[in-house]
């Protein structure tokens, strides 16, 4: 019995020591639109018919497994020299594909936990979060419904959020967004993205009303660039009862003509991080390294188009499976601890 108690004490002590060490090391926050991570099973509640074995895409187990392996390869490359903190994802079909993803051999060493809620999107694609349980303590998670009063029949993705604690008392809130697409034209859908921005903005102001110094990370595929009105609205928060402003870390990258996706000649930065200013303060117990975010763009994620140059190496092109990765590039930022 004494030996058993001693062994238990040693194991618990090692676990706590490992967690303590994780909290002292820098960590990476990632966002990635993984482009249609669907399983091969029919969901009668959603429009997933394009990703079934008998569909025009001929989506099958072989292609699904390769897709999982590709996403795992991306994350393994991004986490080669640094631990993960939080990974935001969009265009995932369900919880099962997330379970299959974190079970990939390249990702098994990370202690990921899944945050996922089914959203009302017609195609069944959702936002999700993976977080490292060695470094991130979850308080709770929930969603914000985006229901358009001017178009109640249009169902879009919820905004997913997670409240966490890292290595000290002030909470960190992570929001993962996938705002309405530009299908049909930017002007025809502007009002929907601006409404999604209002839903998010109202929630952030509500948080600051109760937690004046809360740290907030907003990430996602916004289907707008940093200088579009929907994103600019997030920097125009109600000043009452709050101390911070929101800073878009991707604007400098867009100003340099970088991109996270390409459509013909356009070079867009739809995948972004917008953070509360206190996360840039190097005097705080933790902060974003160099106050910067970056786009991850190794050669294997890019394809040289004969007309448009380098573009993301996507899964399908013109209806043809090309065994690529995604039509978006992942983005990341690093957090340093004192």
Is the whole-model pTM more than 0.85?
yes
Confidence tier at 10 by pLDDT (50, 70, 90): very low
Integer distance in angstroms from the first to the last C-alpha of the chain? 41
As a whole number, mean pLDDT of residues 252-278 equals 95
* Percent with pLDDT over 90 in the chain: 79
What pLDDT sits at residue 15? 46
Average pLDDT value for residue range 81-89: 97
Rounded to an integer, the average pLDDT of 202-215 is 92
Question: What is the secondary structure of 168-218 as a DSSP string?
Answer: SSS-EEEEEEEPPP-TT-HHHHHHHHHHHHHHHHHHHHHHHHH-TT-EEEE
Is residue 83's pLDDT more than 70? Answer: yes
pLDDT tens digits, 171-185: 899 999 999 998 767
Each residue's pLDDT tens digit, 11-26? 444 444 445 566 679 9
CA distance 36 to 44: 17
Q: How much is the pLDDT for 5?
A: 47
Which helix (H) or strand (E) is 13 found in, with range? helix 2-24
Residue 278 confidence (pLDDT)? 93
pLDDT at 328: 98
CA-CA distance, 150 to 12, in Å (whole number)? Answer: 55
- Label residue 3 by pLDDT band (50, 70, 90): low
> CB–CB of 128/98 below 8 Å?
yes
The yes-or-no verdict on residue 271 having pLDDT over 50 is yes
> Averaged over 4-16, what is the pLDDT?
46
Residue 78 CB neighbour total at 10 angstroms? 18
Using pLDDT thresholds of 50, 70 and 90, give the confidence band for residue 212.
confident
pLDDT of 7 reads 46
């Amino acid at each position: 019995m004494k030996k058993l108690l001693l062994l238990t004490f040693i194991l618990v002590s090692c676990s706590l020591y490992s967690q303590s060490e994780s909290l002292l090391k820098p960590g990476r926050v990632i966002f990635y639109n993984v482009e249609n991570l669907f399983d091969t099973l029919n969901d009668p509640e959603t429009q997933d018919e394009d990703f079934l074995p008998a569909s025009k895409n001929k989506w099958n187990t072989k292609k699904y497994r390769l897709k999982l392996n590709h996403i795992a390869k991306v994350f393994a490359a991004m986490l080669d020299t640094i631990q993960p903190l939080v990974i935001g994802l969009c265009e995932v079909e369900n919880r099962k594909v997330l379970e299959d993803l974190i079970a990939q051999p390249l990702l098994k060493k990370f202690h990921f936990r899944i945050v996922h809620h089914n959203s009302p999107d017609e195609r069944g694609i959702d936002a999700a979060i993976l977080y490292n349980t060695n470094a991130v303590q979850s308080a709770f998670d929930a969603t914000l419904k985006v229901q358009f009063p001017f178009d109640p029949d249009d169902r879009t993705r919820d905004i997913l959020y997670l409240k966490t604690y890292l290595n000290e008392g002030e909470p960190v809130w992570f929001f993962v967004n996938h705002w309405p697409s530009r299908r049909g034209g930017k002007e025809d859908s502007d009002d929907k993205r601006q409404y999604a921005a209002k839903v998010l903005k109202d929630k952030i102001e509500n948080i600051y009303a109760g937690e004046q110094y809360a740290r907030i990370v907003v990430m996602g595929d916004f289907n707008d660039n940093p200088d579009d009105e929907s994103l600019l609205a997030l920097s125009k928060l109600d000043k009452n009862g709050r101390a911070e402003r929101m800073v878009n870390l991707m604007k400098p990258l867009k100003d340099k003509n970088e991109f996270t996706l390409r459509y013909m000649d356009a070079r867009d930065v739809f995948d972004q991080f917008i953070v509360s200013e206190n996360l840039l303060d190097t005097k705080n117990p933790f902060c974003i390294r160099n106050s910067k975010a970056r786009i991850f763009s190794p050669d294997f994620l890019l394809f040289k188009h004969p007309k448009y140059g380098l573009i993301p190496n996507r899964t399908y092109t013109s209806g043809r499976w090309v065994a690529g990765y995604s039509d978006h590039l992942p983005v990341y930022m690093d957090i340093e601890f004192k």
